[in-house]
Structure 1
Amino acid sequence: MICRADSKPFSNGMLISRITTSGRSRCAASTRAIPSAACPTTSNCTCSAARTPSRISAWSSPSNMRTFFIVLNCDSVLWETKFLPICAGGLLPKKIKRETQRSKRLQSPQKIWQSKTLLASIIDSSDDAIIGKTLEGIITSWNQSAQRIYGYTAEEVIGKSISILAPDDRHDEIPEILKKIARGERIQHFESVRVAKDGRRLKVALSVSPIRDPTGHIIGASAIARDLTSLDSTRQALQESESRAHALFQAATQGILVVAPNGRILMANPATEKLFGYTVAELEGESVERLLPERFRTGHVAHRKKFFGNPQTRAMGLGMDLQAHRKDGTEFYAEISLTYIPSPQGALAVAFVTDISKRRADEQDIRQQGRDLRMLAGKLMTAQDDERRRISRNLHDDLSQTLAYLAIDLGKLANRPSAAELTADVRSLQRRAAEAAETVRRISHELHPSILDDIGLVAALEQYCEEFQARSGIATHFTSTNVPESVGSDVSSSIYHIAQECLRNVAKHSKAEEVFVEIEAVRDVLRLSVKDHGVGLVARQSQPGSGIGIVTIQERAHLVNGRVSFQSKSGEGTEVNVEVPLLAAG
């Protein structure tokens, strides 16, 4: 906008568009407030009408330009106006052109309002408290975060001293800060304590900067405060958690290793030193394969890559049973439980290492004791069989023959005519002696079935099944398939006694009406099966002594490296299956 303020006032179209009255009259009215000495004529104009030496000398320097502010009452807008010289011919010299171009860059009131609104929105949306104050400490601005952190509304604090936020022990702090600001200094990341409206002490980080006016003078301070209270609590809780975790890591009796995907040991606890003999410093940075015997290292690399390809937690009960290598070259059995933890570099493996050498030795001792017990049991049963054989032989050779002779002699007495009156009694004694002889024969046979040596296992079993059926009244079905004629005496004795025990259990507990006994040879295995359709093992478990026979069957099978299986359902019967290697039988 251009306005000429001399004896002929004038305003251009841009000025006219800003006011409601005519340009000439408004311009004249506006410029009447300007001293006449302030209305210059050009110092570089070439027209003859303007060549007045006194005026030219007065405005020969650009520093003599005056700036005035004119208030146009039509829209109450404050305009900055520079009075510059023009020539009488109405032409604008270069100096005026430059001022005209600069005026175009000045923002309109609407743009200024938009900028201020945007800046206020940014300040209010900040998570930090932003507070404006004078150099005397009087609060001039207060954003939403300041209200949230300190509890005061803007209406409660604007116009009051900033010292209301300072605790009693820090009142001297604020004047010192304001002094530094007045000197043009800045306060960066200064941690202090402030007091909220409800009396809470807040730990804050302060950044304070000077506020300057358009001329560069410091007129106040802008403070940005970040609440560190919750952050400090979180940091403290994190530190405590890390301290506890570190203490557990250090105090653990298990060796703990943290391993990177490339196999390098990142961390090791003191228990690892005791396990392997290396110091923690020696272990960290070393390959984890160093802790394995050399013969296992290549294979372990593949296992490690597989784990990191799909890291999963493996519980201790499902851990890997490995051999580990100490610094002194000795080896020990170790159980490894694996898990993983996330990290910025990816998953890290955490290995819990336990020395199980003693446990392995104890387990080996227990297994050896089991073998010794089975051997003793076998020897005991062999001794029993030998004793039975001896008793059987004595019964057969001595008592049985004596009873037989007694029966013969009694028969002779009964046949004498002179003894007619004793005939009935003698006949009764003869019958009882015969029964006694048969009982002795049967007991002798059961103690040691010499029939095994005489006719073989299959024939002996078949004969026993017939006798069992006759005594018990239970229909007994016997079949044999591909059984060799020659089976070792130990196997024959074990199979025969197992069949006897099974049939005795059937007679005592099963309540079955029939039983099936089958013996067969399949490839290198001799199998015995005894099956009934009685009440089943489940129903018989509550009966006294029902478990002794099962134990006897199992022990006899173990003597010849055999195995026993039981299949039973309540009300459907029981099937006992025994398998013995024929190689052992030979």
Structure 2
Amino acid sequence: MKHPDLSREEIQSRLQETEKRLSQTHEELNYLKSIVEHTEDAIVGLDLEGTVLSWNPAAEKLYGFSGDEALGSSVFMMIPPYNSDEISLILAWIKNGERITHYETLRRRKDGSLVNISLSVSPIKDARGRVVGASTISRDITTSKKMELKLQESEEKFRELFNNANDSIFLYPLTSDGTGGQFLEVNDVACHSLGYTRDELLKMTPRDIEVESREEPTLWDLLQEGSATFEAVNLTSDGRQIPVEVSAHIFNLRGEKMVLSILRDITRRKQAEEQLRKSLDEKELLLKEIHHRVKNNLMVISSLLNLQSKYIEDKAARKVFKESQNRARSMALIHSMLYRSTDLKCINFGEYITSLTQELFRTYVIRDNIKLKMDVGNVPLDINTAVPLGLIVNELVSNSLKHAFPHGEDGEISVKFHKANDHYVFQVADTGVGFPEGLDFRKTNSLGMRLVDTLTDQVDGEMELDTNHGTTFTLTFAEEDYGSPLKGDEK
């Protein structure tokens, strides 16, 4: 039947338009179907009773049910038993026209295993706007949940370590002017140590808790080096000062420079250091007193020998007393120099040789016929080596003064002492008459030379005699490290 108001051409045109719209609609439906079938999210259509009306391939992959198994079945097949009330609540919301977005929950697969999903549910309405069903989109978030759990466990471990560390820990940014910004994080130890709450400390900066010190490196110094360890003093909430050892490290966090400072309370260490310092001061004072008394006693012995020698008429016996007096004075000089020294274990032996030699010259040289030439370095020697070597110096210099110029000839005596590599070289030379030919100084009956031989063995040295031009005694020895803690035991 023809429409009375439309011509055949108009009716045909409208039919073509309708066919075109139907074709476009069909294409759009195919396009939407393709999206649903190829998306990675599970898309399921439900009626208001929870019956499955549509089931895409991603839903089959996620839940394990085929389309034939799922279509017409209840959505409760995917709900864990302990979570059965959840779908009823969701459907109630949908009936009221509400939406659910990114709701995280659990679903059960065909094999009984559980899967973590992010669920979004939207109401489906008919042409009249009535809600007739629900469209659900589910995404598998098992991997992200595992990562989230690991991150949470890692954060919990970090928080546990952070708050249970023995030291105070502070995290704060490095500001543009090179100072520390407001604390971003502090641990429980820091709060307890300084007497502030966490909220109070998070409103403060490093300047608020530190006693200013010129020796403390600036944050710019830390920036150059990257890290530093130094000592500082913290100020508590009640005004007490706590000495701390600071280990600071600068690093980048999201493009911002951060400072992580670990502060260790060193109050006990400082107290122990102070006690040790006092103890060392007391021991140093005691050692000084010992050296002083030993020196005094040796000088008393020297004076007694001098007094006793005045009552002896025999020249040979008086000579023995005189030599013994000089030996006592040579040892007394060592203890006198140690008493005045800041190092109570070592002596500047070059200075000692100079003092002893000059004193021997004043004793033996009556007129200026003998010249003294000194070439000694500032060489420290341990007292265990200095005492026997001092006696050797006394014997060799005295021997040259007494025997090298028997008739008052003019001459020269030279004394040298230096360190060459790991060895020490001590030498006494004179331009006198020379050592008696054919006489072995190691086997002479002279007490002085026998004493020299014995003391040479004591310092583990080698003595050489050269008589080509006068007399030259050269002693070479190697001293153990005078700072070694085993030295006293070995001796």
TM interval, short-chain normalised: 0.5 to 0.7
Q: Equivalent residue for 2:294?
A: 384
Alignment gaps of 5+ in structure 2? 176-180, 331-355, 363-371, 375-389, 402-412, 419-450, 467-473
Spell out, residue by residue over 1:32-67, the C-alpha distance to the aligned partner (whole angstroms, 9 max, x if none).
xxxxxxx31341xxxxxxxxxxxxxxxxxxxxxxxx
Aligned equivalents of 1:97, 1:503: Cα separation in 2:
139
Q: In the comparison of the two structures, how many residue pairs are matched? A: 383
Q: Equivalent residue for 1:363?
A: 273
Q: Among residues 335, 349, 357, which one is paired with 2:259 in the alignment?
A: 349
Matched, 1:167 2:80: yes
Q: Equivalent residue for 1:336?
A: 246
The answer to whether the 8 Å contact 2:360/2:398 transfers is no
**Structure 1 residue 467, shift from structure 2 partner:** 6.2
Matched, 1:40 2:38: no
Change (3 A) 1:468 1:155: farther
SS at 1:265's partner residue? coil
Matched, 1:131 2:47: no
Q: Equivalent residue for 2:7?
A: 86
Change (3 A) 1:347 1:168: same
Aligned equivalents of 1:391, 1:439: Cα separation in 2:
14
**Structure 1 residue 510, shift from structure 2 partner:** 3.5
**Structure 1 residue 272, shift from structure 2 partner:** 3.5
SS at 2:415's partner residue? strand
Change (3 A) 1:111 1:536: farther
Aligned equivalents of 1:380, 1:532: Cα separation in 2:
30
Change (3 A) 1:175 1:161: same
Q: Equivalent residue for 1:479?
A: 416
Spell out, residue by residue over 1:296-335, the C-alpha distance to the aligned partner (whole angstroms, 9 max, x if none).
6xx97x923454x468454xxxx22123344555544332
The answer to whether the 8 Å contact 2:36/2:56 transfers is no
Spell out, residue by residue over 1:357-382, the C-alpha distance to the aligned partner (whole angstroms, 9 max, x if none).
44334323323432332232122112
The answer to whether the 8 Å contact 1:189/1:206 transfers is yes
The answer to whether the 8 Å contact 2:395/2:452 transfers is no
The answer to whether the 8 Å contact 1:385/1:447 transfers is no
Q: Equivalent residue for 2:404?
A: none
Aligned equivalents of 1:258, 1:287: Cα separation in 2:
10
SS at 1:378's partner residue? helix
Q: Equivalent residue for 1:259?
A: 172
Q: Equivalent residue for 2:204?
A: 286
Q: Equivalent residue for 2:31?
A: 115
Change (3 A) 1:142 1:342: farther
**Structure 1 residue 226, shift from structure 2 partner:** 3.5
1:557-576, aligned counterparts within 5 Å?
none
SS at 1:259's partner residue? strand
Aligned equivalents of 1:515, 1:181: Cα separation in 2:
117
**Structure 1 residue 451, shift from structure 2 partner:** 6.8
Q: Of Structure 1 and Structure 2, which has the larger fraction of its residues in helix?
A: 1
Q: Equivalent residue for 2:352?
A: none
Matched, 1:445 2:319: no
Aligned equivalents of 1:274, 1:503: Cα separation in 2:
70
Aligned equivalents of 2:452, 2:130: Cα separation in 1:
114
Alignment gaps of 5+ in structure 1? 1-38, 44-84, 409-433, 471-475, 482-500, 517-530, 549-586
Q: Among residues 51, 54, 57, which one is paired with 1:143 in the alignment?
A: 57
The answer to whether the 8 Å contact 2:245/2:264 transfers is yes
User: Aligned letter for 2:170?
Assistant: L
Change (3 A) 1:201 1:364: same
The answer to whether the 8 Å contact 1:142/1:158 transfers is no
**Structure 1 residue 224, shift from structure 2 partner:** 1.7
User: Aligned letter for 2:219?
Assistant: R
User: Aligned letter for 1:115?
Assistant: Y
Spell out, residue by residue over 1:159-196, the C-alpha distance to the aligned partner (whole angstroms, 9 max, x if none).
54433212334445546645665675544444443222
The answer to whether the 8 Å contact 1:264/1:286 transfers is yes
Change (3 A) 1:313 1:103: farther
The answer to whether the 8 Å contact 1:268/1:284 transfers is yes
Q: Among residues 194, 197, 200, which one is paired with 2:110 in the alignment?
A: 197
User: Aligned letter for 1:41?
Assistant: H
Q: Equivalent residue for 1:508?
A: 458
SS at 1:264's partner residue? coil
Aligned equivalents of 1:532, 1:214: Cα separation in 2:
121
The answer to whether the 8 Å contact 1:137/1:178 transfers is no
Spell out, residue by residue over 1:415-440, the C-alpha distance to the aligned partner (whole angstroms, 9 max, x if none).
xxxxxxxxxxxxxxxxxxx5x76555
TM-score by length of 1: 0.52
The answer to whether the 8 Å contact 1:181/1:221 transfers is yes
The answer to whether the 8 Å contact 2:36/2:43 transfers is no
Change (3 A) 1:502 1:375: farther
Greater RCO, CA 8 A, separation 6+: 2
Spell out, residue by residue over 1:231-252, the C-alpha distance to the aligned partner (whole angstroms, 9 max, x if none).
5555455445444544554454
The answer to whether the 8 Å contact 1:261/1:305 transfers is no
Spell out, residue by residue over 1:234-285, the C-alpha distance to the aligned partner (whole angstroms, 9 max, x if none).
5455445444544554454533333232321234445445544544444322
Aligned equivalents of 2:16, 2:224: Cα separation in 1:
73
**Structure 1 residue 384, shift from structure 2 partner:** 0.9
Q: Among residues 233, 253, 258, which one is paired with 1:323 in the alignment?
A: 233
Aligned equivalents of 1:207, 1:160: Cα separation in 2:
20
SS at 2:281's partner residue? helix
SS at 1:338's partner residue? strand
**Structure 1 residue 388, shift from structure 2 partner:** 1.0
**Structure 1 residue 119, shift from structure 2 partner:** 1.0
